[in-house]
Structure 1
Amino acid sequence: MVSLQNSPSIHQTWLPNASNQLGFYRPGTFRRGISFLVRAEQVSAATTSPRQEGPGRRQLLAAGATVAPWILLSYQTSTSFAAENKKGFLAVMDKKDGYSFLYPFGWQEVVIEGQDKVFKDVIEPLESVSVNLIPTSKKDIRDLGSPQEVAETLIKKVLAPPSQKTKLVEAAEHDADGTAYYTFEFVAQAPNYTRHALSAICIGNGKFYTLTTGANERRWEKMKDKLHTVIDSFKIVNA
């Protein structure tokens, strides 16, 4: 993995006032989880020696034809999350910290201090997705305020540097498996670039989860459908 510092695509500064306002514990209490990718595996078939002719070999082949579908079904069941993957996307499942999401094929994992997981396009550095975890005493994202209120606070104090001009485009709430999620769209303008971004936030497992993805404004129309897929795929599970 490539280690990046001061990347313009990711900015994360948890200010003390923001942490207190949103009910977070101190950043020093971060517990970095061990994440892993859900990848497809190739199952190689056993080879048979040419000398194994006759009824014995035919019986083995017949048995294999009967057992193979069952093995395939079992494999698909054991990797049910991978089965939900969309064409052109890869899946991440972090069982320890309790979250999953999809990201576009071709993006590479990078390490950025303060982020639990980051994937980005190596050619277009503003195209990325990051996940941040903050311990919290809150139980529900709605305890922090409305989608608009929470989004404005995060954008101004956390998701963009103070020097950037930001604008909240829209914010909404939805429920998935009994958990409330806030999603919002915003624009952050720097002197030499403008980033159009989407975020999904929720609370569960004693953590405040923030997933943010985005792209350069000039590529927004081309990338927005993919980025919405990333946001829509974000789910938390019991850790």
Structure 2
Amino acid sequence: MASPPPPPMTLLSAKSSSNRLSFLFIIYQLGLPLSTTTSTTTTRRLFSPPNFITCSVVRKTSNRRSLLLGGLLAPTFLSFPPLNNPLLAQEIPKNYEVFVDAEDGYSYFYPSDWRNFEFRGHDSAFKDRYLQLQNVRLSFVPTTKTDIHDMGSIQEVVQHLLKHVYSAPTQKPTIFDMQERTVDGKNYYTFEYALTSRNFSRAAFATIAIANGRYYTLIVGANERRWKKVRNTLKVVANSFKVLDI
């Protein structure tokens, strides 16, 4: 016997926040397909222009599901968040999309013309379609610490990372800026730096945080020759990184 057809999708106006929440419930109830295909994306247009939201599901090899939304951020389909979750009300800047990994507990923005790719040793990564060295990637490792302040002051942590972790013996590290921020009770260190060698120089922002028993690192950077041109664009990515409770 053939299985019954799926329920019809209700079209909603994207203008009001209440209708946006209704939209999220409908998508949550319908569910989206999950497969183990590596780095593929399914896109569904849910509204007619000009008021539409594009929803893409990234299928990862670890059989996990992460959500990208243009115009509105929904943290997960696997465990729908409470209505007062601040992520639901977060607007995505123009020309950016958002990547959310609810299972591993983080989210960040990335330029909308970038593409996801596999970066060895990292949980997620996106790059410029033409300039591969212009990219963002995120990794995490287990830790017994509960807050980034447990690692030390921002000056101590950044200097240690650039001298002993990020730079090779042939590279000279330079720190341009360091900033601390607190969002929803979570603390973050963000710093701007460059690694210079005889043949190549790269500049980047890094944002680090601790949550869920994990030490998260997001790095977004580019060739230093393009840094002045792309710096402000990449700073949005670095400042958008958030850890989520899991």
| TM-score normalised to structure 1 length | 0.67
For the structure 1 residues 226 and 237, does the alpha-carbon distance in structure 2 shift closer, same or farther, using more than 3 Å as the test? same
Unaligned runs of 5+ in 2: 1-37, 40-61, 72-83
The CA deviation at 1:173 is 1.3
Aligned position for 2:96:
89
Instruction: Find the partner of 2:148 among 125, 141, 145.
Output: 141
Kindly report which structure 2 residues correspond to 1:119-198, keeping only aligned pairs within 5 A, or say none: 119-198=126-205
8 Å contact 1:174–1:181 — kept in the other structure? yes
8 Å contact 2:204–2:219 — kept in the other structure? yes
SS at match of 1:222: helix
The CA deviation at 1:190 is 2.8
The CA deviation at 1:106 is 1.4
Aligned position for 2:210:
203
Report the count of equivalent residues.
Answer: 176
The CA deviation at 1:105 is 1.5
Q: Deviations over 1:157-196 (max 9, x none)?
A: 3223332111112212111111111111100113322111
The CA deviation at 1:35 is 5.3
Aligned position for 1:34:
64
Q: Deviations over 1:9-66 (max 9, x none)?
A: xxxxxxxxxxxxxxxxxxxxxxx7835241359xxxxxxxxxxxxxxxxxxxxxxxxx
Instruction: Find the partner of 1:236 among 224, 231, 243.
Output: 243
Identity across aligned pairs (percent)?
Answer: 39
Q: Deviations over 1:63-96 (max 9, x none)?
A: xxxxxxxxxxxxxx99x65962111011100000
For the structure 1 residues 88 and 168, does the alpha-carbon distance in structure 2 shift closer, same or farther, using more than 3 Å as the test? same
8 Å contact 1:33–1:97 — kept in the other structure? no
For the structure 1 residues 139 and 232, does the alpha-carbon distance in structure 2 shift closer, same or farther, using more than 3 Å as the test? same
The CA deviation at 1:233 is 0.8
RMSD: 2.6
CA distance in 2, matches of 1:91, 1:170: 25
8 Å contact 1:169–1:184 — kept in the other structure? yes
CA distance in 2, matches of 1:200, 1:155: 13
For the structure 1 residues 162 and 125, does the alpha-carbon distance in structure 2 shift closer, same or farther, using more than 3 Å as the test? farther
CA distance in 2, matches of 1:33, 1:155: 34
CA distance in 1, matches of 2:131, 2:108: 21
Q: Which amino acid is the alignment partner of residue 109 of structure 2?
A: L
8 Å contact 2:70–2:98 — kept in the other structure? no
SS at match of 2:138: strand
SS at match of 1:111: coil
8 Å contact 1:33–1:116 — kept in the other structure? no
Aligned position for 1:19:
none
SS at match of 1:156: helix
CA distance in 1, matches of 2:186, 2:63: 21
SS at match of 1:123: coil
Q: Which amino acid is the alignment partner of residue 206 of structure 1?
A: G
CA distance in 2, matches of 1:221, 1:230: 16
Q: Which amino acid is the alignment partner of residue 184 of structure 2?
A: D
Q: Which has the higher contact order (CA 8 A, sep 6+)?
A: 1
CA distance in 1, matches of 2:114, 2:89: 17
CA distance in 1, matches of 2:190, 2:109: 16
Q: Which amino acid is the alignment partner of residue 117 of structure 2?
A: V
CA distance in 2, matches of 1:161, 1:92: 30
| TM-score normalised to structure 2 length | 0.65
Q: Which amino acid is the alignment partner of residue 192 of structure 1?
A: N
